[in-house]
Structure 1
Amino acid sequence: MNEETARCFDEIVFTATDGLSLYARDYQAISAGEAGKAAVICLAGLSRNSRDFHHFAIAVRERTGRRVVAIDYRGRGRSAWDDNKANYNIATECGDVLSALSALSVDRAVFVGTSRGGLILHVLASSRPDLMAGAILNDIGPVIEPAGLREIARYLNRGERPRDWTQAEGILRTTHGANFPVLSDEDWRDMAEAVYVEKDGGIHADFDPAIAQHLLTLDFESPLPNLWAQFEAFGKMPLMAISGEHSTLLSAQTLAEMSRRHPGLRRHLATGQGHAPLLHRRDVFSAVVDFIQSI
Structure 2
Amino acid sequence: MQYDQGFSDFFYTAPDGLRLHARVYGEANSGLWPVVCLPGLTRNARDFHELALHLSRQEKNPRKVIAFDYRGRGQSAYDPDVGHYNVGVEAGDILAGLAGLGIEQAAFIGTSRGGLIIHVLGAMRPAVLKAIVLNDIGPVIEVEGLAHISSYLERTPKPKTSAAAIDAQRRAHGDDFAALTEADWERMVSAIYRETEAGLVPDFDQNLVDTLVGLDFTKPLPDLWPQFEALAAVPLLAIRGGNSKLLSAATLEEMRKRHPGMEAITVIGQGHAPFLETGGLPDTIAAFLDRAEQQVQAK
TM-score (norm 2): 0.94
Which residue matches 1:100?
A: 97
Aligned residues: 289
Query: For 2:100 and 2:269, how far apart are their aligned partners in 1?
Result: 38
Which residue matches 1:43?
A: 38
Q: Deviations over 1:188-208 (max 9, x none)?
A: 101000010112522111111
Q: Give 2:115's match in structure 1, choosing from 111, 114, 118.
A: 118
SS at match of 1:121: helix
SS at match of 2:76: coil
Contact 2:153 2:209 in 1 (8 A): yes
Which residue matches 2:207?
A: 210
Contact 1:55 1:280 in 2 (8 A): yes
Matches within 5 A, 1:250-289: 250-289=247-286
Give the CA deviation at 1:282: 2.7
Give the CA deviation at 1:257: 1.1
SS at match of 1:186: helix
Amino acid at match of 1:61: S
Give the CA deviation at 1:233: 1.6
Q: Deviations over 1:93-114 (max 9, x none)?
A: 1011111101111111000000
Identity among equivalent positions (%) equals 45
Query: For 1:68 and 1:189, how far apart are their aligned partners in 2?
Result: 23
Query: For 1:138 and 1:17, how far apart are their aligned partners in 2?
Result: 27
Which residue matches 2:7?
A: 9
TM-score (norm 1): 0.95
Runs of 4+ in 1 over 4 A off after TM superposition: none
Query: For 2:246 and 2:256, how far apart are their aligned partners in 1?
Result: 17
Gaps of 5+ in 2: 294-299
Matches within 5 A, 1:72-111: 72-111=69-108
Contact 2:26 2:57 in 1 (8 A): no
Gaps of 5+ in 1: none
Which residue matches 1:240?
A: 237
Contact 1:126 1:234 in 2 (8 A): no
Query: For 1:205 and 1:12, how far apart are their aligned partners in 2?
Result: 22
SS at match of 2:147: helix
Give the CA deviation at 1:4: 6.1
Matches within 5 A, 1:139-158: 139-158=136-155
